[in-house]
Structures are given as C-alpha cells and as structure tokens.
Amino acid sequence: SFGKLMSYLTYKARANGIAIQKVDEAYSTQTCPVCHNRKKHAGRNVLCACGYTSHRDIHGAKNILSKTLYGNFLPSAVAEQTKYLRPC
C-alpha cells in the first residue's frame, strides 16, 4: 500500500538525515513547462505544439522537481539522457 511505502521511505530517509517532502503531482505529466499547455500524451514521448519534446517519465520527474523548487512548472536545465533497456 502507498501508506506502507511512505512509512518505509520516511524511516529510511530519516535514518540517513534526508527530509521527505510531499508534492502534489497533479498535471505534472500533462503540462508543458515551456508554454504551460495541458494535454494527455500517449506513448513514451511528450510532444507539444510549441516544439517541446521529452520522454514522458523524465518530463514528469522534471516537472515535479520544478514545482518543488520554484512552485511552478518551468523549463529545466537538467540534461536529459534516456537509456532504453529494450529498443523502442
């Protein structure tokens, strides 16, 4: 269950001096960080009409990081490197 996972993560993080912060993930996978257009994406890649592209998992993670640090979805300077275990 999610509660059990949070309890385990909190326990392990505290044991290593790491703070846990919950972040609302709403729209993190749908929102373009460049033009803030919302769209449900199908497939592995996020393609926005403004030209922004990203792998969907990296896109969501970068949006959550941006929301945590800056309070909004902003374009990230984090380099994106995707390595697939299986070819697309």
Residues that bind Zn ion (CB under 5 A): 32, 34-35, 37, 48, 50, 52
Nearer to Zn ion, 12 or 39 (CB): 39
**Whose Cβ is closer to Zn ion: residue 14's or residue 38's?**
38
87: left (phi over 0), alpha (psi -120 to 50) or beta: beta
Q: How far is the CB of 39 from Zn ion (least distance, A)?
A: 9
Separation of alpha carbons 56 and 41, rounded Å: 8
Identity of the residue, 6 or 50, whose beta carbon is nearer to Zn ion in the bound complex: 50
**Straight-line distance from the first to the last Cα atom of the chain, in angstroms, rounded to the nearest whole number:** 31
